[in-house]
Chain A
Amino acid sequence: MSVSIVRKVAMALSGFFLLSFLLLHVSINLLSVCCPAAFDSASHFMGTFWLIQFVMQPVLAFGVVFHLVLGFILELKNRSSRPVKYAFSNAAASSTWMSRNMIITGVMVLLFLGLHFYDFWFPELNVKYMQGDMSGLVEGTDRFRYWEELHHKFQDPIRVGLYVLAFVFLGLHLMHGFQSAFQSVGFNHRRYTPIIKKLSNIYAIVVPLGFVIVAVYHFLAQ
């Protein structure tokens, strides 16, 4: 992809996809706060239904990798476009911190993903595909293991702190990303763009806050 505009559209489309995934993820997680049984069956469905596991999951993995690789390519390209920096720059006068630091917030989210995969995804893959246990049950019982595992993970205050911090960065990333994606695909309208910007801020606060609520709830409910 050598053309600048193709890059930005690709960034936006993968971003839209990840935005819709986050919404699904936070909705299921919030079930763990209000309705553990529903959380268990939703988790079991997501974890065992072939369409999700073998079609959507690889698509998602590809989407994440695509978005982050392109993000790094953009950053490198854009750095090289200004080889000599300004001695004095007052960037805050004309743009938001979020819009200028997508690489920082993005890398923080990426680091968090490492921890998150270590906590949940890798153990899940291990149980299901290495050990071949697709039952979703706590060994030797007929209880689902999902809610208990989640609950157990958030015993550790350090982990809870790291998660909360990561969601702050996610929120900052989304604040620019959500509305920026519309502009990238060519949508800018006198009437609708201000609404999209408001929605962007709402999404960027509500979704990460949902994740924070889940982490903090499980920590406090130990």
Chain B
Amino acid sequence: MADHGMKLTLKIWRQKGPKDAGKLVDYPVTDVSPDMSFLEMLDVLNEQLVMKGEEPVAFDHDCREGICGMCSLYINGRAHGPQTGITTCQLHMRSFNDGDTIYIEPWRAEAFPVIKDLVVDRSAFDRIIQAGGYISVNTGAAQDANCLPVNKKDADAAFSAAMCIGCGACVATCKNASAMLFVSAKVSQLALLPQGRIEAEERVLNMVQQMDVEGFGNCTNTGACEVECPKGISLQNIARLNREYLSAALMSEK
């Protein structure tokens, strides 16, 4: 098997800690199977590094099946690598060729500081959710189906928005490091449903304010987020966020 494996040159961002300047380091890696996921390929590299007594590369991952949003990585200039609609754990080495050089960098944003190597701190997203991405009114016990009628169109749009896994690819790929797609998904999934309407006004004002406090950039509608989002979150959500925010800002009596 070994001589059938791919040989790659990886250019990986190494950074000892938040204060370290960091730099790209070249790593040759061998024995890579085209059927490996990108993260498995990094596991192989790390094993090779450990065998040589070197420090393994730190990178985020958890579910490895595209549902948790932990894996990140800016691969060859694109969030989650060359394919669309997938996370890095769903990217396979067959998307690359034997002999390729692959750049691997962490998400870059003022609001996502590097902790170590390829691991960034995405707690800014948590604080945005804490600012209003929840329902705190009493919605009662589980109801009979259809006792609260919801338009199918709205239910579907809310469900699509709820697909967001908080990975941060939208921020990473946006030239402005804007978090609008994430925030718009989190605002939309609640704003579209009756239980979410009750706190909709405060929610959008508080979440947008927290988004700005965290230092994310300002959206200029390049649309890159929608292309790179692994869950296909639509720009229609950002338009909805703009509407929700405007009407709340104009009508709020606070």
A residues lining the B interface (CB < 8 Å): 2-9, 74, 77-78, 80-91, 93-96, 99-100, 102, 176, 180, 183-188, 190
Contacts and interface: CB of A to CB of B under 8 A. Distances in A.
A5 B177 contact: no
Interface string B1-29: 00000000001010000000000100000
A2 B173 contact: no
A81 B77 contact: no
A99 B222 CA distance: 5
Interface centre among A5, A74, A86, A99 (most CB of B within 10 A): A5
B175 A100 contact: yes
Contacts of A83: 110
Most buried by A among B103, B108, B209, B218: B218
B160 interface: no
Given A78-B220, A81-B110, A95-B223, A5 B175 contact: no
Interface in B191-250: 208-209, 211-212, 215-224, 227-228, 235-236, 238-243, 245-246, 249
B228 A4 contact: no
A186 B243 contact: yes
B111 A102 contact: no
Nearest to B223: A95
A117 B178 CA distance: 36
B249 A6 contact: yes
A3 B103 contact: no
In order of increasing CB-CB distance, the 6 nearest A-B pairs are A90-B77, A81-B217, A188-B239, A186-B243, A78-B176, A94-B224
Contacts of A9: 242, 246
A86 B74 contact: yes
Nearest to A180: B221
B76 interface: yes
B175 A183 contact: no
B239 A86 contact: no
Contacts of B105: 86-88
A52 B163 CA distance: 52
Given A82-B217, A94-B173, A94-B223, 11 more contacts: A3-B249, A4-B211, A5-B245, A8-B220, A78-B175, A81-B177, A81-B178, A82-B176, A86-B105, A89-B74, A94-B222
Interface of B: 11, 13, 24, 74, 76-78, 82, 103, 105, 108-111, 173, 175-178, 180, 208-209, 211-212, 215-224, 227-228, 235-236, 238-243, 245-246, 249
Contact of A99 (B103, B215, B220): B220
Nearest to B105: A86
Contacts, number: 133
B239 A183 contact: yes
Please classify the interface of chain B as helix (H, G, I), strand (E, B), loop, or mixed, using the class held by over half of its residues. mixed
A97 to B, nearest CB: 10
Given A2-B212, A90-B77, A91-B77, A7 B239 contact: no
Nearest to A74: B218
A8 B212 contact: no
A129 to B, nearest CB: 38
B77 A188 contact: no
Contact of B221 (A2, A85, A90, A99): A99
Nearest to B243: A186
A21 B110 CA distance: 38
B195 to A, nearest CB: 23
A88 B76 contact: yes
Contact of A8 (B13, B219, B222): B219
Contacts of B109: 81-82
A96 B245 CA distance: 27
Nearest to A6: B249
B64 to A, nearest CB: 24
B224 A95 contact: yes
